[in-house]
Amino acid sequence: MGRDRTLRLQFGNRIEVVCVVGTRLCTDVYGAAPADAVTFAVKHSDDVEVEIISDGQSEHAPANGGKQWPLDPKTTLSIQMTRPSTEANDNKVTVGYYGENGGHPIDQAGVFLTGIEISLDVDADRDGVVEKNHPKKAVWTWGPDGQGAVLLVNCDKENPYTGKEDCQDDKVFSKDDLEDMSRMILRTKGPDRLPPGYEMVLYIPLSDCDKVGVFYLQNPFFGQRYIHVLGPRKLFHVVKYTGGSAEMEFFVEGLRFPDAGFDGLVTINVSLLEPVAEGIPQTPIFTDTVVFRIAPWIMTPNTLAPVNVFVCSVKDNYLFLKEIKNLVSKANCKMSVCSRYMNRGDRWMQGPDFGYVSREPLFEEVTSLDSFGNLEVSPPVTANGKEYPLGRILIGSSFPLSAGRRMTKVVRDFLYAQKVQSPIELYSDWLTVGHVDEFVTFVPIPGKKQFRMLMASPSACYKLFREKQKEGHGEAVMFKGYTGTDTKRVTVNKVLSNEVMVQENQYVQRCIDWNRDILKKELGLAEKDIIDLPALFKMDKQGKAMAYFPNMVNMIVLSRDLGIPKPFGPIIEAECCLEQHVCSLLEPLGLTCTFIDDVSSYHKQLGEVHCGTNVHRKPSAFKWWNVTP
């Protein structure tokens, strides 16, 4: 952005001016004219363009000065360099003033010009190339036809020996660190040196200093060093002008995700400063600006292909790890086990060497609803006429009219601020733990761009048990082989005759149905898109619900391979009727069901398979910036 600058012509003095190519110098020819002058003419170098502007009309002045114009108080000159200089002061504009006879000029005033090109450039059209002076580099728009550069938050750790995330230090440890950053190039072209007193300065607004960091590549061809030049406590950096045609390469990292009060946009500027006089600060005569949007925090749904499964090793989950390893082998993906040294005994900790973000409330109480089993995402959907190509985030909360547990405001605000996966708040406070993954999940339909939503269903369980009772299997026993706990003999008849449990599960079903209606509306689903998995719950002393047998909806989804908590249901003809029923629902879709015993290692701790694992998935092919929020 080059503003028009006003230049005052002087007789007898040599005026030297640096002019950025494409910007204009404006001067008043009338005020500088001798008293007896009536006309003027302009001569200029070939690389200079001069316009005579009077009464809103403009006319190009020929380079040879062969035409004269009448002096008028409303007449001004507009001077512009068309290409950069090869030497300082190698271009000139001369104004000659003439009397009545129009012969030789009465007097002359001249300006010596040094032209320079300055362009701060980014990948504004998102094609992987940092184009020169892209017209949309200073704006940012969403959608398929949008423009604007993007930036990642550098929140992982490339150096295993530091306790800090990469975005919290001012060093580049490896080429992998650079892969998390965006390139920015400062291109200049001009003479070998600028006149004394001129400087180029790269800077960021104070409001952005905790949101963006910039590294400069020093010695790009020998002994590369990356110097931290902008970021917290570093608002500006004086850039050395090297002369000729030069490209200075910078690497930019995001420091914060979008959040409440921060829309994700950051700006970086470069200005050319001009000296005024000794003891007086320099003034900017040209500024170029680029805008980045920091990439949002994005969740990956179950319908995306798995790459790596993370799980912790703790003292009581050896058999669980073995079963997960077998499942992962079938799914043809990797498995990473987080050692006891690394997880410090936390069986729920999911995934070393990954970027993460944390939010800590100042005044609110943290509850189990702030754990991330209470944070899921749907596959891509269209609902109420709006497309959600990256799906929608699901979070559990309290009933709208109650004062129960909710996810803390700082976390909810953070999720809403990401914009690309518009959150849906469900009712989960009726559960002991209170997580949405206790009653809903999603599975792909292999070979199709479709999915099914699975929901825990006490009604489906009672219906199945009544059918088995009518078939003469009322004395079929549950919990055979159930490890790690003492279980009294439980049969289908006992479950169906337990009126307290029936009433408790009627309440649970109503809570789930409330969420079912919300999900159908907000995800654009019909009943045919939903599959009910049998489940039963029991109430704790606080009137909250927990799974009566391992909750099958809390599964791990690895493409067509499902790792489902083994329910230990009634054994009929040597088979678990719950497992048999679930297979009959899911296998016709092309899915494979593997039932995993998680009782002693997770179920007793109020979690299941999904709670104790995490899946790194291939990212969506859809580009998040093409979303229209």
Catalytic positions are 611
Q: Are 160 and 342 in contact (CB under 8 A)?
A: no
Instruction: Specify the long-range contacts of residues 193-198, CB closer than 8 Å, at least 24 apart.
Output: 193/88, 193/241, 193/243, 194/18, 194/88, 194/114, 194/116, 194/241, 195/16, 195/18, 195/88, 195/89, 195/114, 196/275, 197/274, 197/275, 197/282, 198/18, 198/241, 198/272, 198/273, 198/274, 198/275
Which residues, listed in sequence order, are joined to residue 293 by a DSSP beta bridge?
A: 150, 265
CA atoms within 13 A on the CB side of 446: 14
Residues 6+ apart with CB under 8 A from 63: 43, 44, 45, 46, 48
Tokens (6 digits) for 613: 């694992």
CA–CA dist 508, 527 (Å, integer): 19
Instruction: Return the bridge partners of 562, or none.
Output: 557, 593
Distances (CA, A) of 26 to 12, 38, 49, 50, 79: 20, 20, 12, 10, 6
Distance between start and end Cα atoms, the chain? 29
Sign of CA dihedral 431, 435, 436, 438: negative
Sign of CA dihedral 513, 615, 555, 338: negative
Nearest Cα to Cα of residue 196 among 307, 275, 312, 313: 275
User: Please, what's the largest Cα pairwise distance for the chain?
Assistant: 125
Q: HSE (CB half, 13 Å, CA atoms) of 569?
A: 27
C-alpha distances in angstroms, 461 versus 108, 505, 545, 578, 582? 100, 10, 16, 8, 11
**Count of CB atoms situated within 10 Å of the CB of 312:** 25
Angle between helical axes of 499-523 and 458-470 (0-180°, round to 10) = 130
The CA–CA distances, whole Å, from 494 to 88, 192, 469, 614 equal 97, 93, 11, 37
Given CA atoms 274, 276, 282, 284 in this order, what sign does their dihedral have? negative
Contact present, 192 and 244 (Cβ < 8 Å):
yes
Task: Give the angle 416-420-426 at the CA atoms, nearest 5°.
Answer: 50
The whole-angstrom distance between residue 423's C-alpha and the CA centroid of its chain comes to 15
Provide the 3-class DSSP secondary structure of residue 108. Answer: strand
Take residue 592 and report the two structure tokens written for it. Answer: 């494979």
Q: Which of 572, 543, 586, 552 is nearest to 461 (CA)?
A: 552
